[in-house]
Amino acid sequence: MSERNLVTILGIGNILLADEGFGVHFVNWFSKRYRPTDDVRMIDGGTLGYALLDIICSCDNLIVVDVLKAKDTPGSIYRFNKEEMELHMPPPTTAHEVTFSDVLFKTELMGESPETIFLCIVPKEYGDMNLEMTPPIRDKFPVMEKLLLRELDQLNVKLEKI
């Protein structure tokens, strides 16, 4: 009997704020290109906060696609493990505002934190209300796709292209 390896691909971000929604837009795009399996879930996590706890705690490996607000060229892509990403996460917030780092911290407190990889892109525009991503960021979908497929390959996961 083989050991199950449940992988969750989680796109997070706010689609109302231009490039901030990259993770959500990317996962929705990716899920139209590849067929999920019993061991792979593709989740639009949006801005769900603590509502993501069950999703995150129920997988063995988590791949998060998000933006990274860094002083770098828009469209630059980074890969981090959880420890490396902690250096780039915002400081803790109040109970009234939940960030993704708060959610991950809660999974650790519960003792149910999966192995986590972050695939992040530096946005061009965020903060202003705009449902459209900027073209240079949207054009990075194929690059992010290659990186995600490489991560899945490292986990011995192959997806069927639709």
Q: Domain spans of the chain? A: 7-161
Distance CA 162, CA 11 (A): 20
Distance CA 81, CA 160 (A): 26
pLDDT tens column, 75-129: 999 999 888 887 766 665 555 567 888 888 889 889 899 999 999 999 998 888 9
Task: Identify the pLDDT of residue 94.
Answer: 59
Q: Which CATH number fits domain 7-161: 3.40.50.720, 3.40.50.620, 3.40.50.1450, 3.40.50.300?
A: 3.40.50.1450
Task: Identify the pLDDT of residue 118.
Answer: 96
**28 or 89, higher pLDDT:** 28
Average pLDDT over residues 131-139: 95
List the structure tokens of 60: 């063995």
pLDDT tens column, 115-134: 999 999 999 988 889 999 99
Distance CA 113, CA 120 (A): 20
- Cβ atoms of 56 and 98 within 8 Å: the answer is no
